[in-house]
Amino acid sequence: MTPFTYARATGPADAIRMGQGDGAKYLGGGTNLVDLMRETIEHPATLVDVTGLSTAIEPLDGGGLRIGAAASNTSLAAHPQVREAYPVLARAILAGASGQIRNMATVGGNILQRTRCTYFYDDAARCNKRAPGAGCDAIDGFNRIHAILGASPACVATHPSDMCVALAALDATVRLDGPEGARELPLAALHRLPGARPDVETELRPGELIVAVDLPALPFAARSTYRKVRDRASYAFALVSVAAALDLEGNIVRDVRLALGGVAHKPWRAEAAEAALRGKPATAENFRAAAEAELSAAVGLRDNAFKIELARRTIVAVLGELAEVQA
């Protein structure tokens, strides 16, 4: 680990002031950043500890919730209103990592965690994310855990967060503050697809800090869930995960929210599938057609082509579960 300086922020303004300048990084629970520093992938010159910032989870006027970025993953999953009104979010968080890590990890840090691509982690391998222009050893290597949607010739890594998949489905907004002032971004627009610059992973501007996440009111999210498919029964990253909320009027899909994890460089909001379903009867056949609409553009690599079918099947099963329809 490269030496660094450390400062603990007392509030957002304090954090942003200290977070300016090259090499400053915001430190939450450290569950990803400390690991990456130890792996000599991250070399911050300054760590600005933002765990002292707001951990509050409070109702928003007009419905919805505001979540302080320093709230722990556990506290968010355990929050009564989250469990009641956004079960997809509670379940997504609880599907991730371990109890210990969820206790440490902050909401802001979870959003900004980096890929688990093994070639990214090994500095003996070529990686455009670590060293832009170096090439990618994953495309023709072990890529069982890699992307089937939105990948580029430069990068096929996936975003590992479970929580973000639920946030994408719920149309969450990320509240940012920074040297140029405060702004908001939809969670689904925060992370980037790799394109030619996989090293630029988000739309955050230099020195910008996530201060909160807003969940809009979404009454039908009470009928929502998260399903994660992985290589162990617990404590493993997703091969494919599905976050879904379903609004039924009788047997007709009035509205639906669908997002996929483990399939792309960002939490993947399945808008094509949603569009294909709205106004249609909630049948297994329509669920399959919706899944197909989303995955028709999917591309499999040497080891991960199974994810395309796995994603299809998991979407159908999850929607079927929410609609109580037999697949």
Partner 1 sequence: MRFIVNGASMEAQVDLRTSLLDLLRDHLGLTGSKKGCNQGACGACTVLVDGTRINSCLALAVQYQNREIVTVEGLAEGAALHPLQAAFVEHDGFQCGYCTPGQLCSAIGMADEIARGVPSIVTADLSAETIPLDHDELRERMSGNLCRCGAYNGIVAAIAETFAKEPA
Partner 2 sequence: MSVIQDAAQSVMRTAIAYVPDRWVGTAGGDPLRTKHGLLGAPVSRLDGPDKVRGAARFAAEVTLPGMVYAALHYSRIARGRIASIDTAAAEAAPGVTLVMTHLNAPRMNKPPIMMTAPKAAAPSDLPVMQDAEIHWNGQPVALVLADTQEQADHAAALIEVTYEGAPAVTSFEVAKAHAHHPPTILGEPPELKIGDAEAALKGAAVSVDHVYRTPRHNHNAIELHACTVAWDGDALTVHDASQLVNATAWTLAQIFGVDEKQVRVTSPYVGGGFGGKCLWWHQILAAAASRLAGRPVRIVLSREGVFRMIGGRTVTEQRVALGAKADGTLAALIHTGVVAMTTHNNCPEQFTFPARHLYAADAIHLEQEVADMDMLANTFMRAPGEAVGTFALESALDELAEAMQLDPIELRRRIEPAKDPTSGHDFSSRHLLDAYAKGAEKFGWDKRAAQPGARREGEWLIGMGVATATYPYMRFPGCAARIRLGADGQAVVSIATHEMGMGTATVQTQHAAARLGLPLDRVRFDYGDTTLPEGTLAGGSNQTASNAGAIIAAHEALVTELLKLAGNDSPLAGLKVDEVEGFDGGLASIADPTRHESYASILARAQRDEVVVEAEGAMPLEGQKYSMHSTGAQFAEVRVNAVTGEVRVSRFLGSFDCGRILNAKTATSQFRGGIIMGLGLALTEETLFDERSGRIMNPSLAEYHVPVHMDVPEIDVIWTDAPDPHSPLGARGIGEIGITGVAAAVANAIYNATGKRIRDLPITLDKLM
Which residues of the chain form contacts with partner 1 (CB under 8 A)? 1, 3-6, 8, 27, 29-31, 34-35, 37-38, 47, 49, 51, 74, 77-78, 80, 83-84, 87, 90-91, 94-95, 97-101, 103-104, 228, 232-235
Shortest distance (Å) from residue 102 CB to partner 1: 9
Residue type, 158: T
Q: Which residues contact 316 (CB under 8 A, 6 or more apart)?
A: 284, 287, 288, 291, 327
Q: Tell which residue, 301, 312, 304, 310, has the closest CA to residue 272.
A: 312
Helix (H, G, I), strand (E, B) or coil at 295: helix
| Residue 310 partner contact from partner 2, partner 1, none using kind-dependent CB cut-offs of 5 to 8 Å | partner 2
| Residue 223 partner contact from partner 1, partner 2, none using kind-dependent CB cut-offs of 5 to 8 Å | none
Shortest distance (Å) from residue 66 CB to partner 2: 32
Shortest distance (Å) from residue 317 CB to partner 2: 5
Query: Which stretches of the chain bind partner 2, using CB under 8 A?
Result: 1-3, 38, 40, 116, 118-119, 121-122, 124-125, 137, 140-142, 144, 229, 231-237, 239, 306, 309-310, 313-314, 316-317, 327
Helix (H, G, I), strand (E, B) or coil at 269: strand
Smaller CB distance to partner 2: residue 85 or 139? 139
| Residue 306 partner contact from partner 1, partner 2, none using kind-dependent CB cut-offs of 5 to 8 Å | partner 2
The Cα–Cα gap between 216 and 187 comes to 12
| Residue 90 partner contact from partner 2, partner 1, none using kind-dependent CB cut-offs of 5 to 8 Å | partner 1
| Residue 100 partner contact from partner 1, partner 2, none using kind-dependent CB cut-offs of 5 to 8 Å | partner 1
Give the helix ranges, DSSP H, for 175-257.
187-190
Buried b (16+ CB within 10 A) or exposed e, 179-204: eeeeeebebbebbbbbeebbeebbeb
| Residue 49 partner contact from partner 2, partner 1, none using kind-dependent CB cut-offs of 5 to 8 Å | partner 1
Element (H, E) at 92: helix 87-95
Smaller CB distance to partner 1: residue 3 or 250? 3
Q: Are 242 and 318 in contact (CB under 8 A)?
A: yes
Complete edge-to-edge strand list for the sheet that includes strand 24-27: 5-8, 46-49, 24-27
Q: Are 76 and 93 in contact (CB under 8 A)?
A: yes
Shortest distance (Å) from residue 189 CB to partner 2: 29
> What's the CA angle centered on 168, arms 172 and 156, to 5 degrees?
140
Shortest distance (Å) from residue 288 CB to partner 2: 12
CB-side neighbour CA atoms (13 Å) of 172:
32
Smaller CB distance to partner 2: residue 137 or 177? 137
| Residue 122 partner contact from partner 2, partner 1, none using kind-dependent CB cut-offs of 5 to 8 Å | partner 2
Element (H, E) at 272: helix 271-277
Smaller CB distance to partner 1: residue 81 or 283? 81
